[in-house]
Amino acid sequence: MMELYIIGASGFASEITEYIEQEIKILGYFDVDKTSYEIYDFNANFLGSEGEFEFSKSSKAIIAISNPKIREKIYQNLKNKKVEFPNIYCKNSLVSKKAQISEGAIICPYCTITSNAKIGLNFQANIYSYVAHDCVIGDNVTFAPAVKCNGNVIIGDNVYIGTGAIIHQGSVKRPLIIGENSSIAAGSVVTKNIPANSVVFGNPAIPLTKENLKRRR
C-alpha cells in the first residue's frame, strides 16, 4: 500500500481523502494553520508547515490546493527536498492509455482524459470534468467540477477554470488557445483564444471589466 502525505487540509483534501483512503495510507496533512483541519474528520495527524518538515528519502505527496500558483510554489520547494509526486487516478475516472500525464495529477471520480491528451505537472481535474482528444495542457492547471474541455485546445501554465465552464473545440490547424496565468469564471463558454494573464466570464466569455459586467446585467 502506498504511503502518502497530503499538502492542504481543507475541503478538497477531505474529498481526496474519501476517494483514496481505502487504497492509500495517509501519513498526515500540512497547511498554513490548523483551522481547516479541525473542521474535517481526518484520520491522520496535522503536521504543520510542509516547508519546515523533514521528509524522509522518497517521501510521496499530493497537493490538494486548487490555486495554481500556490501549487507551483509548493511543488518546487518540495522537489528540492526530493519529495515524489505520484499521479492519483480515483475510482470511476477514465484515463486513455494514449494520454500523457506528468507527475502530481489528481483525477477525481467521473473524470475522463481521452486519447492523445498531453498534460503537464500538478494537473487537477475535479469531479465530472473531461479533457478531450489532442489537447495540450500546461503545468499547475486546475479544472473545477464539470469543466468540459473539447478537442484541440491548448491551455498554458497556471490556468484556473471554474465550475461548469465549456471550452469549445479547436482544430488541428487552429487550436483554441488559453494563455498562461488566466482565470475562466464558473459557467463561462470559451469560444475563441484567451490572451495570457486574462480573467474572463460569461457566454461567450469576455474580459472581466466593470463595463462588461454592466453590459451583461
E strands, 22-60, are 24-30
Is residue 30 a contact partner of residue 77, using CB atoms and an 8 Å limit? no
Side by side, the strands of the sheet bearing 94-95 are: 94-95, 112-113, 130-131, 148-149, 166-167, 189-190
Contact 63, 81 (CB under 8 A): no
**Considering 133, 175, 196, 202, which one is annotated as catalytic?**
133
Instruction: Return the half-sphere exposure (C-beta side, CA atoms, 13 A cut-off) of residue 105.
Output: 24
The answer to whether 133 is a known catalytic residue is yes
Contact 188, 163 (CB under 8 A): no
Q: What is the 3-state secondary structure (H, E, C) of 75-144?
A: HHHHHCCCCECCCEECCCCEECCCCEECCCCEECCCCEECCCCEECCCCEECCCCEECCCCEECCCCEEC
Q: Which residues are catalytic?
A: 133
